[in-house]
């Protein structure tokens, strides 16, 4: 491992998030805060490490980030093993998020899809269903944005790299920035 190269790659992603993406992150945070304030929920999905990010994001919304405050309506679509395995068994893994969006989502909610490549079939299908239900979609992706980017209302793409670990690090910074800004707005 070349620590200097690792540091340089990480700092490039951090610069992209804090500089280039700042206006888009701010706009997404304001939109999510307004939806939460109106009584809508934020649903979040992803696979593998992105599933962990979805759970982390939902936990910060429901519990707290920096301040003691009322819980916000956030749900990770990655956590109910009975639902996931039933849908996966009966309909296939590509439907595990879209069926949940159909069952849980209402117009005005938000769906955040996290996919480092932007090509996760189950996340893309969930966005297609969300669009039909008038659910606002936000893609956290990387590289070129993949197939998910054109399906999203808002795209937060760590475009400076195709490295999955660096994209995931960028997503972590984005998630924390969104949580902190949402709390500031709603506090």
CATH number of domain containing 101: 3.40.50.10490
pLDDT band at residue 145 under the 50/70/90 scheme: very high
Is the CB of residue 171 less than 8 Å from the CB of residue 114?
A: yes
pLDDT, the chain, mean = 97
Give the orientation angle of helix 49-62 with respect to helix 164-186, to 10 degrees: 10
How many domains is the chain partitioned into structurally?
Answer: 1
Helices (H) and strands (E) in the chain, counts: 7, 5
Alpha helix (H) residue ranges in 20-78: 22-37, 49-62
Is the CB of residue 19 less than 8 Å from the CB of residue 172?
A: no
pLDDT at 108: 98
% residues pLDDT > 70 (the chain):
100
Give yes or no for residue 1 having a pLDDT over 80. no
pLDDT in tens, 59-115: 999 999 999 999 999 999 999 999 999 999 999 999 999 999 999 999 999 999 999
Q: What is the mean pLDDT of residues 32-58?
A: 98
Token readout for 27 is 């706009």
Token readout for 25 is 């992150």
pLDDT at 160: 87
Of the candidates 71, 49, 48, which has an alpha carbon nearest to the alpha carbon of residue 59? Answer: 71
Q: For residue 153, give its domain range.
A: 3-186
Q: What 3-state DSSP class applies to 111?
A: strand
pLDDT at 31: 98
pLDDT at 151: 98
% residues pLDDT > 90 (the chain):
96
pLDDT at 124: 98
Alpha helix (H) residue ranges in 38-120: 49-62, 81-91, 98-104
């Amino acid at each position: 491992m070349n620590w200097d190269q690792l540091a340089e790659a990480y700092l490039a992603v951090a610069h992209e998030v804090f500089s280039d993406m700042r206006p888009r992150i701010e706009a997404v945070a304001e939109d999510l805060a307004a939806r939460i304030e109106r009584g809508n929920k934020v649903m979040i999905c992803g696979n593998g490490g992105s599933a962990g990010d979805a759970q982390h994001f939902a936990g910060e919304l429901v519990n707290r980030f920096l301040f003691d405050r009322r819980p916000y309506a956030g749900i990770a679509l990655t956590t109910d093993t009975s639902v996931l395995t039933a849908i996966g068994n009966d309909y296939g893994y590509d439907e595990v998020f879209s069926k949940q969006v159909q069952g849980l989502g209402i117009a005005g909610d938000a769906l955040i899809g996290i996919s480092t490549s932007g090509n996760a079939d189950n996340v893309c299908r969930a966005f297609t269903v969300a669009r039909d239900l008038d659910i606002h979609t936000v893609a956290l992706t990387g590289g070129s944005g993949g197939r998910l980017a054109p399906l999203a209302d808002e795209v937060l793409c760590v475009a400076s790299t195709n490295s999955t670990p660096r994209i995931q690090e960028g997503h972590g910074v984005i998630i924390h920035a969104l949580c902190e800004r949402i709390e500031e707005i709603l506090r």
